[in-house]
Structure 1
Amino acid sequence: MNVRAQLVMVFNLDKCIGCHACSISCKNIWTDRKGAEYMWWNNVETKPGVGYPRKWEDQETFKGGWLRDGSRLKLRALGKGPTLLNMFFQPNMPKLDDYYEPFDFDYSNLYKAPPGSDQPVAEAFSQISGKRMEEITGGPNWDDDLSGSQTYAASDVNLEDRSIVEDYGRMFMQYLPRICNHCLNPACVASCPSRALYKRGEDGVVLVDQEVCKGWRFCTSACPYKKVYFNWQSGKAEKCIFCFPRVESGQCNACAHSCVGRIRHVGVLLYDADRVEEALLRADDELVAAQRSVILNPRDPRVREAARANGVSEQWLTAAEKSPVYALVKEFGVALPLHPEFRTMPMAWYIPSLSPVISSGRDLHELADHGTFPLMETMRAPISYLANLLAGGNREIIAEILRKLIALRLYKRADTLGQTLETSILHNAGLDRASADRLYRLFTIAPYGERFLIPAQQREEQDPQQRKGTAGFGILKKTRGAR
């Protein structure tokens, strides 16, 4: 058992209000310099929609992530031959138009313009060329709140029934906040010819060594989530760093700290690195269960002993034992990885959204005799859509989580109104009153110290080989050695 520790973030999609406070806080701290104007390490997308960069989920176009090749994994677009041929050109990388040409406005013209009969305006200019832009055709969150638009929603690769966008009564919308997933099997790390990207041994954060990076951009092509960016000014790759200067001192990430909806939880997971490859070789609809099986119980004495042998401190073991992330991902099983079929084993997890609560109507859910929820099969956000987004197409896992979330709401509604609720409703969803109360607390009233449980690090006490050596363990070692 090769036990490793990983910092993980969980997002509750039912609570995201799309305010973009997370994106702005990240932007102000990390990407406010020349060459990084178009970088949004944290962004919030409207779903259904094309996302940022446009259609990043379409791996037939961008060819990111991994594929099963018999009994092993291989990068979808790379190998010895393609690596050499594409050393100076990346045919599958998003173009600037897939993001947007970064722009600003000439506000100085408002007070420097000569006297005239017209009101002066602040004209747009390109932050790359400095030239005036006659027309702006894209920008960050360009399709924000346009899930009903046939231009954007109909192009969402997760949407099986595209007739939904033509029927206003069936249209739905949810927000999807995204950061780098700091995957257990990161394609960006495996694809880098110069080995500039690496996964830290003490917390699993994936970083870019700017001194080593040669700007080949294989990482951008290989990342299926397109969360590695190219700085056109410095010629280096840049990405989300999980706010490691903050988390090393026990503070939570800037995006999580600023979240108005309190949708995020940050904590520690322990996992068995030796089982990562085996789990990733499963079929698409089995990947969620396989990924959960890699996550270990931090209260198991054998797991703790193996973790200590790998240099995991007692402080981190304690944090893993109390981790809100472990409770949501493993104990309650209500959180899911984003597009597990990309086979990078992402470490950002999402709690699926529920339909809007209704007061009356037809086809009410069989569990909701008070007229609170529609039938699961007729929810505004189709199970098929959520399954394609979060479960590799496995609808049963989505339905299981939705039943749990519905039962929790019914229980708390009855408790608040002084009504009685059949215990079978909780039991059939895999809950009892104690676990329902605990889950409700995590979702709603848990204070800062319970939502963010991040142990401080003493990096000077870490083995230098461990700090930068995990790009070579497990599956990454085999894959990179084969290249």
Structure 2
Amino acid sequence: MRIRAQVAMVMNLDKCIGCHTCSVTCKQTWTNREGTEYVWFNNVETKPGIGYPKHYEDQERWKGGWKLDGKGRLVLRSGGRLARLGKIFANPDLPTIDDYYEPATFDKDILVSAPGGLTDTPVKKPYSKLTGEPMSIEWGANWEDSLGGGTMDQDPNLRGLADKVKFEFEKTFMFHLPRICEHCLNPACVSACPSGAMYKREEDGIVLVDQDRCRGWRMCVSACPYKKVYVNHATGKAEKCTFCFPRIEAGQPTICSETCVGRLRYLGILWYDEDAVLAAATVPEEELLDAQRGVFLDPFDPAVQQAAREAGHPEEWIEAAMASPVWKLISEYRIALPLHPEYRTLPMVWYVPPLSPVLDAAGAAGRDDTDADDIFHTIEDLRIPVEYLASLFTAGDTAVAGGVLMKLAAMRAYMRARTLDGTVADELLDGIGMTADQVEAMYRLLAIAKYDERYVIPAAHAKTAAALEDLGGCSLDGEGGPGMGGGPVPVILSTRRP
């Protein structure tokens, strides 16, 4: 067993209101500069929808992620070394700017400098930030916001659900899906990079790009099934979400987590067995979720703690792993799920799926909202089909997706009964296989957890502090980088809020 630490994130989609604050603050921190006008390390999509870039989930088109060959071996969808070498100068599997969107700016001066006495109101015209030419805005990173783009019927996750999903206004369902780089345990981008510029940090699992080694071959863009690697058109080099590692090293949450209005993000440490990653990525599709959970190690196991010490991990990290909200949501309560586990990258950003107002739906259907069977049958009839959630988070396994929704619904029903009249709904607890203490702890974490409970990140060990300081900021701090060559990127400090 080779024990490794991984900084991971869980997002509770029931709390996302689609305000895009996370996207804006990430943009201002990391990609508000020349060459990255179209780049969003963090974006919030409306589901159903085709996403950003367009149709990124269609791996038959983009050939991202991994697959099993005829002999059951794990291979990149983009092909082996010879196949990638054959298209290194002309890669056909790259999204174009139209798949992302052409960023625009506006001639705002016309609004303040227009002469008086005009019969028509002056209008600011859009101009391309890439060419400077007048343009017509036809797409954007959040074009589908709140179903505004009209592309929900093109969502690949809706295949085979035509009979269940009716695209009439009064029956339409939607939810918001924030996305960042998954910082995978088995990252396809790292394996596809010809120059070895993409790498996964040993100390915390964050996937980064060495700007000095990057030669702009763009194979990482094709290989990433989530399309979260971008090319800076000013420098010609690859860039991606850094998991705000300068903040992580200071024991602070990522900027998207810090500024999240809905407080839906959780950050923490997971221990995993590096030797088990390959085996977990090569199991049959229906076993992928359990296999990935099996890679994670119990932070309360004395043998795991001893292995972490022998591997050189400080005590602060061992303690942080035991207090990790990510471990609780993924492995203890088992209500967090990975985005598209069938890509076999073993993503490390997981999601608590959204739950429709199931208790109200149960009452409206004449069912008992404190009865486990009635709640389960109501879940099967919710406006957000379980099949759709399964296609996103469980490789199509509706039993697992339905089980998670059942736990969330039972938690709500149990807490409501306990709060209103002090009763203990034992049949609900028996139905989900959890104790009263576990349900109440899960409720606290999901609903009312404080800052220090949501973000449990150990600061970089004192022995490595000097080495981190000598790095002089991050690898993007050069010409075209966020610091524009002006020295280390400052860690943004903030006042902690409850």
TM-score (normalised: structure 1) = 0.91
Q: Which residue of 2 aligns with 1:471?
A: none
Q: Which residue of 1 aligns with 2:172?
A: 171
Q: Is contact 1:365–1:375 with CA below 8 Å preserved after alignment? A: no
Q: In the aligned structure 1, how far is the partner of 2:462 from the partner of 2:99?
A: 39
Q: Which residue of 2 aligns with 1:455?
A: 458
Q: Which residue of 1 aligns with 2:427?
A: 424
Deviates more, 1:201-210 or 1:69-78: 69-78
Q: Which residue of 1 aligns with 2:196?
A: 195
Q: Which residue of 2 aligns with 1:380?
A: 383
1:121 aligns with 2:127: no
Matched residue type, 1:40? W
1:41 is paired with a residue whose SS is coil
Q: Aligned pair in 2 of structure 1 residues 79, 373: CA closer, same or farther (>3 Å)?
A: closer
2:290 is paired with a residue whose SS is helix
Superposed CA deviations along residues 291-320 of structure 1, whole A, max 9, x for unmatched, are: 000000011121122222222211111100
Q: In the aligned structure 1, how far is the partner of 2:432 from the partner of 2:230?
A: 42
Matched residue type, 1:181? E
Q: Is contact 2:370–2:414 with CA below 8 Å preserved after alignment? A: no
Q: Aligned pair in 2 of structure 1 residues 281, 462: CA closer, same or farther (>3 Å)?
A: farther
Q: Aligned pair in 2 of structure 1 residues 463, 384: CA closer, same or farther (>3 Å)?
A: farther
Q: Which residue of 1 aligns with 2:37?
A: 37
Identity of aligned residues (%): 49
2:147 is paired with a residue whose SS is coil
Q: In the aligned structure 2, how far is the partner of 1:459 from the partner of 1:176?
A: 37
Q: Aligned pair in 2 of structure 1 residues 230, 369: CA closer, same or farther (>3 Å)?
A: closer
Structure 1 segments (4+ residues) deviating >6 Å: 369-374
Matched residue type, 2:324? S
1:411 aligns with 2:446: no
Deviates more, 1:84-93 or 1:58-67: 84-93
Q: Is contact 1:34–1:233 with CA below 8 Å preserved after alignment? A: yes
Deviates more, 1:292-301 or 1:159-168: 159-168
Q: Which residue of 2 aligns with 1:310?
A: 311
1:233 aligns with 2:234: yes
Q: Aligned pair in 2 of structure 1 residues 405, 382: CA closer, same or farther (>3 Å)?
A: same
Q: Which residue of 2 aligns with 1:158?
A: 157
The CA deviation at 1:106 is 1.1
Q: Is contact 2:190–2:220 with CA below 8 Å preserved after alignment? A: yes
Matched residue type, 2:403? E
Q: Is contact 1:383–1:395 with CA below 8 Å preserved after alignment? A: yes
Q: How many residue pairs align between the two structures? A: 462
Q: In the aligned structure 1, how far is the partner of 2:87 from the partner of 2:465?
A: 37
Matched residue type, 1:47? K
The CA deviation at 1:283 is 1.4
The CA deviation at 1:461 is 2.6
* Ranges in structure 2 where 5+ consecutive residues have no aligned partner: 472-498
Q: Which residue of 2 aligns with 1:51?
A: 51
Matched residue type, 2:237? K
Q: Is contact 1:153–1:165 with CA below 8 Å preserved after alignment? A: no
The CA deviation at 1:353 is 1.0
* Ranges in structure 1 where 5+ consecutive residues have no aligned partner: 469-483
Q: Which residue of 2 aligns with 1:472?
A: none
Q: Which residue of 2 aligns with 1:480?
A: none
1:75-154 maps to which residues of 2 (within 5 A)?
Answer: 75-113=76-114, 116-133=118-135, 135-146=136-147, 151-154=150-153
The CA deviation at 1:430 is 1.6
1:15 aligns with 2:15: yes
Q: Which residue of 1 aligns with 2:60?
A: 60
Q: In the aligned structure 2, how far is the partner of 1:5 from the partner of 1:433?
A: 31
1:290 aligns with 2:291: yes
Q: In the aligned structure 2, how far is the partner of 1:72 from the partner of 1:369?
A: 42
